[in-house]
Amino acid sequence: MTGGPTGFAAALLAAAFLLQNAAEVRGGGPDLPAPVAARLPGLTSRTRVVAVALASVVVCAALAVAWPADTRWRQALLAMIAGALAANAVVQAAASAVQRRVLPGTLTGAVLMLPAAVWLLALLPGARLWAMAGIALTAPLLAVIWALAW
């Protein structure tokens, strides 16, 4: 499982994630929910760009560590990343629907990142449990990334 469709799906997911992040930055950075943003008086566009850059580095470093997917722990890490990125795309689409506007990065997330993540999960053995673990860890990891960006 060191190449072939799994390798292609992982590379596609990395590229889709970076394109989605570029779209977020181009659109002014990721939007935080209004109640959260109101409690963060020092939130600037620079903070948002730094948070996106940190997330990009962390996810790409994790993907590099998880590749090649030749062991169970590497397959689990790939599944966690794919689950987290799939959830991110779904949450952004839901937030766009609630706010009745397309948030930055939503289209690239839904059109590129979500299908790549789902495809990678379909190729990995036993991915469902690890994908759920990745989804569960997303919020705490994002909190740490935002704190570092601050």
- How far apart are the C-alpha atoms of 97 and 91, rounded to whole Å? 10
pLDDT for the residue 2: 54
Question: Any long-range contacts for 145-150 (C-beta under 8 Å, 24+ apart)?
Answer: 145/51, 145/54, 145/55, 145/58, 146/47, 146/51, 148/50, 148/51, 148/54, 149/47, 149/48, 149/50, 149/51, 149/54, 150/40, 150/42, 150/47
- pTM metric for this prediction: 0.88
pLDDT for the residue 17: 96
Question: Which pLDDT band holds residue 38 (cuts at 50, 70, 90)?
Answer: confident
Question: Which pLDDT band holds residue 33 (cuts at 50, 70, 90)?
Answer: low
> Is the pLDDT reported for residue 90 higher than 60?
yes
Which position has the token pair 């397959």?
A: 75
- What are 95-147's pLDDT values in tens digits? 899 989 999 999 999 999 999 999 999 999 889 999 999 999 999 998 898 88
